[in-house]
Amino acid sequence: MIGNAVKTLLLNNEDSFLIPDEKVAHVMDTNPLNHALLVLTKVRYTRIPVLNREGEFVGLIGLSDIVNAMFDLTEIDPDNLTDLCVRDVMDTEVDTITQPYDIEYILHLSVDSPFIPVVDSDNHFAGIVTRKEILKSVNHLVHTLENEYTLTEKKQPERKIG
Amino acid sequence: MIGNAVKTLLLNNEDSFLIPDEKVAHVMDTNPLNHALLVLTKVRYTRIPVLNREGEFVGLIGLSDIVNAMFDLTEIDPDNLTDLCVRDVMDTEVDTITQPYDIEYILHLSVDSPFIPVVDSDNHFAGIVTRKEILKSVNHLVHTLENEYTLTEKKQPERKIG
């Protein structure tokens, strides 16, 4: 459990958590890999969301997925770039979050994910929450906490030794 | 300024902050790009450190740097992979840190960098501190703080209105 004071300070920046869908580069599950390669080389994220025709979030794809697919044993085979499409190589095992944010769950997921996709109740893609924004909130928290609160150590129950 | 209680809790995990050099994939500044491409497709980081012959940290290189160099206007020219070497495309504008850690500076850098290279006083590469480890510490902090401390709101000086 995260206490209320910490939760409030972490969510201070909440309105800027979401990078909305229209600002996040994405590809469609039916796009050929060469299109995804072009998009991925132009954006700063190394994995981007994959949507289906209905606008639902269906997975993530990264440069390494594409480069791996290009490698035909030891040689690079650029034919794979047109023969395969995004849904053939994308990662579908991706945790998503919904609003209102559960900051405890977001902080937990952020340990393993550079960003977390946000979906609405119908699984339509709404945007992403990034480690960058989370770490901005953490900076705010740690710089503000002891300015706004006096911290008094609680008496710990004594532990028996031996 | 970060207060002492918060600093202590954040540095609780300090010993595991550093992923030491021998566990971090890296390339040499004189390696051809096809070698760097092979290394980058095999590791989970999208940028890796570049060292010179003396073991000094000289920059970072990522898949996107290499893929950009492969693009000859609109077509992929794989010849660039053998003609160019790592130092031709690496990023040399990289902030580094030294031990003992300044957690305030680390948290500040982590907003913009997925990991921060650690060097010794002679600029020899010692390893990296990752957002993952930092966020583990943050999780520890936020879950522990209000268990171990009682937080009392400080009286804020009243602000004159009008």
Q: What is the pLDDT of residue A74?
A: 62
Average pLDDT, chain A: 88
CA atoms within 13 A on the CB side of A57: 28
Whole-angstrom distance, CA of residue A1 vs CA of residue B124: 41
A6, A64, A136 ranked by CB distance to B41: nearest? A64
Which A residues in the span 80-119 are in contact with B, Cβ-Cβ below 8 Å?
104, 107-108, 110-112, 114
Q: Is the pLDDT of residue A90 over 80?
A: yes
- In this structure, which amino acid lies at residue B111? V
List CB contacts (< 8 A) between A2 and chain B.
142-143, 146
Length reported for chain A: 162
Decide which of A70 and B49 is more confident: B49
How high is the ipTM of this complex? 0.81
Strands B71-72, A149-153: pairing kind:
unpaired
Q: What is the pLDDT of residue A72?
A: 59
Q: Kindly report, residue by residue over A93-134, the tens digit of the pLDDT.
A: 999 999 999 999 999 999 999 999 999 999 999 999 999 999
pLDDT (average), residues A54-73: 86
Cα distance from A48 to chain B (closest Cα, Å)? 13
Whole-angstrom distance, CA of residue A137 vs CA of residue A126: 21
Query: C-alpha distances in angstroms, A63 versus A90, A124, A125, B94, B104?
Result: 10, 24, 21, 22, 33
Tell me which of B140, B149, B152, B153 to substitute to probe the interface with A (most A C-beta atoms closer than 10 Å).
B149
**Least CA distance to B105: which residue of chain A?**
A139
A104, A110, A148 ranked by CB distance to B153: nearest? A148
A83: pLDDT confidence band, cut at 50, 70 and 90? confident
pLDDT in tens, chain B (162 residues): 788 888 888 888 788 889 999 999 999 999 999 999 889 888 867 899 999 999 999 999 998 888 888 775 566 667 777 889 999 999 999 999 999 999 999 999 999 999 999 999 999 999 999 999 999 999 999 988 888 898 899 876 666 665
- On whether any CB of chain A is under 8 Å from the CB of B76, the answer is yes
Q: What is the pLDDT of residue B67?
A: 81
Architecture of domain B4-145: Roll (3.10)
Q: What is the pLDDT of residue B162?
A: 55
User: CATH number of A4-146: 3.40.50.300, 3.30.1360.70, 3.30.465.10, 3.10.580.10?
Assistant: 3.10.580.10
